[in-house]
A and B are shown apart, each in its own frame.
Chain A
């Protein structure tokens, strides 16, 4: 087996005594697309927030690249090569698209206060190389040339989702958490987004490991290397897409939705 990049061990999370995650353990291997599925309220976003550091599990441990990150703050985790997008768009509404993506480069820039004040010289060079990276690696890849100078708050929803991905990529992560990247997109946007996910996962310049939370089963089953299913905060299945689809527990959890479960939008 390839090496493990992320490991969750016996994660427990509760809100005022209501359990959101109960004893969830899993491993994500380098280079794969690992999906987490489950009905609404199953605890998928909670799991993402635990990995990312926005929530702190009541019990259990998280390891990123072998390092115990359970008590680390989110920005430290980011500096270890972890990035994410959000289910509800969390862009910087007052900044332009370019500045949003530039903020993603934060960890790769290191001019201090004084050289920022002067700007000329070191900071200027650094800003230009950041811009070059953003233009040539990200804007080009995600096809957002036309909106780069727009203020993000004004953009259509599908475009905002794409900008979020762009910003997350600017961190140059090794592991990216994608929380429902396809939710609310139309067919064309969905296909684009799925293509981008495959791109960043397979392109040898990126090679980003993805943890994907998604309700669009067609896409999940197509893209994923492995799938984990949560229900009421409990892990009920894990395996290849095929194994999970055939798992009776999973079918039961989706009872009532069985009809739609394997129907892709295509």
Chain B
């Protein structure tokens, strides 16, 4: 919880339980919304892909945050559920003989997104079943099994072979259509992603402040006490897997609009780890943390990429005789991610969102900042 400035009182429970409790917070949120909407006009167009990648990571890491940060169920196989979402959506678009009016009115893709959510959710529940029996380390192993079974086995060996197109399904341009809009350039992809992120964050925030979310947090903090207070922990863990899988499915279905094709290499185990890393960096058990973490990781990757490209170019032109160096520094990106996680675990274990929280309280309590804990 965070502190409000002095002199803020509420006269009804409704006011006290509101999300945006003060005019200042309201103004801040509206400002943020305006920034999100105006972003395509504010940044250079090559940065738009960075922003929708951030949004994709937010959507994907949302489920990871839900499971690890709010329900205490560590998962290392989330890319599997994103893959299920992506493949469900792509295959529904490609292989179902939709009536033309549905294709023309742009209903196919939205329907496929919802179905992707449900398929991924059911797939996730399937691999969540062991959580009824096992905890901690053993659960990590079973979620990893989800990754290995889904991506290299089911998807690569069987699903990808459907239609005999080899490894990847490509989506011809113009197929991905939402109502009247064909998603075909970065601006539209960006707006679409921003819309999904807002919707999903809203849903997540609302769940967390009602019965189900509290039950998850209770299971995370003390499952025995939760059970004693009447929480059916098996059911609520499975609901957590369901919702996390649903978000993953939406993330996967969104991402095909940016890629125009799906292939197993977009769902490698690295991504499962990356999304866990994102919530470690952003802050475990915090919704803002997902946003901070995703933004941090994607922007750092982008900067490193630019840096590495710059250095390689410089080396190649000035010192062509040591050109082999450039092949080595390509891997800086991944190792920088590893280093960032180590750094955060040691120096900032509560993540970026904790710093933000401290900053906020500092200003809210100013000039009596020492009262904040």
Contact = CB atoms under 8 A, between A and B. Distances in A.
Contacts of A93: 221-222
Contact of A91 (B1, B207, B215, B222): B222
Contacts of A118: 206
B221 A116 contact: no
Interface string B300-321: 0000000000000000000000
A13 interface: no
Dominant SS among interface residues on chain A = helix
B222 A119 contact: no
A116 B211 CA distance: 8
Interface string B110-134: 0000000000000000000000000
A118 B218 CA distance: 22
A41 to B, nearest CB: 21
A83 B229 contact: yes
A229 interface: no
A75 B227 contact: yes
A75 B207 contact: no
B93 interface: no
Nearest to A123: B210
B196 to A, nearest CB: 14
A109 B222 contact: no
A92 interface: yes
B225 interface: yes
A78 B209 contact: no
Most chain A CB within a 10 A radius of its CB, from B213, B226, B229, B239: B229
Contacts of B266: none
A110 B14 CA distance: 19
A116 to B, nearest CB: 4
Contacts of A90: 222, 224-225, 228
A117 B206 contact: yes
Contact of A116 (B16, B207, B228): B207
A194 interface: no
Contacts of B228: 52, 54, 74-75, 78, 83-84, 90
Contacts of A111: 210-211
Contact of A119 (B210, B229, B230): B210
Contacts of B188: none
A111 B210 CA distance: 8
Given A86-B225, A103-B218, A132-B13, A78 B230 contact: yes
B214 A103 contact: yes
Interface in B204-249: 206-207, 209-215, 217-218, 220-222, 224-233, 239, 243
Interface stretch (A59-67, A94-102, A204-212, A214-222): A94-102
B373 to A, nearest CB: 7
Interface class of chain B by DSSP? helix
Interface residues of B, number: 34
Contact of B209 (A127, A132, A154): A127
Nearest to B212: A116
A127 B210 contact: yes
Contacts of A154: 373
Given A95-B217, A116-B206, A128 B229 contact: no
A151 B233 contact: no
Contacts of B17: 124, 127-128, 131
Interface string B352-367: 0000000000000000
A174 B14 CA distance: 30
Contacts of A75: 227-233
A57 interface: no
Contacts of B225: 86, 90-92
A119 B206 contact: yes
Interface of B: 1, 13-14, 16-17, 203, 206-207, 209-215, 217-218, 220-222, 224-233, 239, 243, 285, 373
Interface of A: 52, 54, 73-75, 78-79, 83-84, 86, 90-96, 99, 102-104, 106-107, 109-111, 113, 116-119, 123-124, 126-128, 131-132, 135, 149-151, 154, 167-168, 171
Given A75-B231, A109-B211, A116-B210, 16 more contacts: A73-B227, A79-B230, A86-B225, A90-B225, A92-B218, A96-B1, A99-B214, A103-B215, A103-B218, A106-B211, A106-B230, A107-B229, A110-B211, A111-B210, A168-B229, A171-B229
